[in-house]
Chain A
């Protein structure tokens, strides 16, 4: 019988050592990694026939928009829900993202992504979420086209996993948070607080910690032009530095 074979890196809790287990499920056309994991969790029996605890992993939308299901599949960080089994070499190796603390099995704690978004002030300052009887200034279709690319970042963590400068002992906020700054700085009223955001990413862990390895842009499932954002921010920061050094002080 044709099967789909998996090797899954498991870990019972954040403090216990990891170990590997192998599973096989009957082949079925059209499986993605999430749907295959669902079959395994229903009947968690290893290839050796041992009954084990179901594999824990994270997923929600199953449409590659929520960013929950990132894991390392055959060495590459990607979304499990949109990775079709038929496109993978077997046995399929599943591992948790290595740059974040493991919670259990394939689940990791990505809360740092969100605290980094706070660090770089990735928001537009509005007076309040009430109606002020007008909208924001107009945006040209060209500017929209560029901005839209960045607005699709789902905080999945793949780019951080692939970035050699990002790590659990490093300050570097990673490419996604930088791209968020790029996006906020381009908003017609977001511009008003551009300086604050730029100063935030001029600090430790900011833009200059990027080493231009450009893995980020290769692995991003949403094809976000992260390295373009990094270049554009480089330019903004160079100008900001000139202003800070030569221009009027705050």
Chain B
């Protein structure tokens, strides 16, 4: 008899689920809060916000183990899960079926978005130290281009959708919500969270360009 400890399938699934929220989800919320401070201007942002962050000890280790690896695992295993579905999204128009489909699509979209996003920020900065010095200006110049702004907007919305809906499904997977009524109530809360975080994210994006 295989126990759950000996069954990697189950543990991997739960790990994937967990990592989606912590640290990935947590990072995203923190990240948006961080960027929402763009409205205090370039100096404050560059010195106080980014500067404080970049001054942390063991930053690289934190970044690798708290952000990069978990995210990579979640993304990689997410792609594995993706292969198992066969969403005929047009066949049934019920809300949760659409959300199920969107969860998968947004996962892939986030992956693509991150390639660009991390490329333009972290990777590019490896060759162009100037970027690191004036992240505010860098983001400002990026986001003032309408196409890039749009790209970020989509990336933001999809990420937040993915997180909020992920929270909703997590509650079932882990057995937090069981009855249909509980699931409905939790849905309202997740939707509220989505709105709130969108406002936060949008606020941050606008802070760079306005």
Contact = CB atoms under 8 A, between A and B. Distances in A.
Classify A-B as touching or not with yes or no (CB < 8 A).
yes
Interface of A: 75, 162, 164-165, 167, 170, 172, 196, 199, 202-204, 206, 208-215, 217-218, 225, 227-228, 230-241, 244-245, 249-250
A199 B4 CA distance: 6
For the residues of B in contact with A, the DSSP-based class is helix
5 contacts: A206-B9, A214-B100, A228-B178, A233-B175, A245-B4
Nearest to B10: A202
Contacts of B9: 202-204, 206, 208
Contact of A199 (B2, B86, B101, B183): B2
A227 B180 contact: yes
Contacts of B176: 231, 234-235
Interface of B: 1-5, 7, 9-10, 13-14, 81, 84-88, 91-92, 94, 96-97, 100-101, 103, 168-169, 172-180, 182-183
Given A75-B91, A170-B84, A199-B2, A213 B97 contact: yes
B84 A209 contact: yes
B7 A214 contact: no
Contacts of B103: 211
A203 B175 contact: no
B85 A245 contact: no
Contacts of B7: 199, 202-204
A24 B101 CA distance: 37
Contact of B172 (A164, A167, A227): A227
A208 B175 contact: no
Contacts of B172: 212, 227, 230-231, 234
Nearest to A250: B3
The binding surface of chain A is classed by DSSP as helix
Given A215-B92, A232-B175, 10 more contacts: A75-B91, A202-B4, A203-B10, A210-B173, A215-B94, A227-B183, A231-B172, A238-B174, A239-B175, A244-B4
Given A203-B9, A208-B14, A234-B173, A244 B3 contact: yes
A53 B175 CA distance: 51
Nearest to A232: B178
Nearest to A172: B84
A196 B1 contact: yes
Contacts of A212: 96, 100, 168-169, 172-173
